[in-house]
Amino acid sequence: MFPTRALFSKARVTLFTRAGCGLCDTAKHAVTQLQKRRPFDYSELDIMAPGNKSWKDVYEFDVPVLHVQSALGDQLSDPKKLFHRFTEQEVEKLVDEAETMQS
């Protein structure tokens, strides 16, 4: 068995979201459509979940927020961010940048 392409991706994508957020649903769709074409490490973080107070304090009135980071060895770069409304193409541009960063 061979590892998936996502394991080789240097891009780390995190979507900060919350329940009942229509813009968040649209953002999730854009990210998952891109991920179908081009695998990368993707996670979602519900800012309202217990234990996520620090993210709630930062993004409570800004979700959806997307962080795209590059894995540089065992470190992550500072995140490039997209807020509120963004397209699949905008996400792909940041993933491209993250994957081409030099370590």
Domain ranges of the chain: 5-100
Q: Would you say residue 39 has pLDDT above 80? A: yes
Report residue 102's pLDDT band, with 50, 70 and 90 as the boundaries. low
pLDDT at 72: 79
Q: Would you say residue 24 has pLDDT above 70? A: yes
DSSP state at residue 66? E
- The whole-number average pLDDT for the span 9-21 is 93
Q: How far is CA 82 from CA 16, 28, 45, 76, 87, in A?
A: 10, 13, 15, 17, 10
Q: Would you say residue 71 has pLDDT above 50? A: yes
Answer for the pair 24, 40: CB distance below 8 angstroms, yes or no.
no
Interval 50-67: pLDDT, tens: 999 999 999 999 999 999
Decide if domain 5-100 falls under CATH 3.40.30.10. Answer: yes
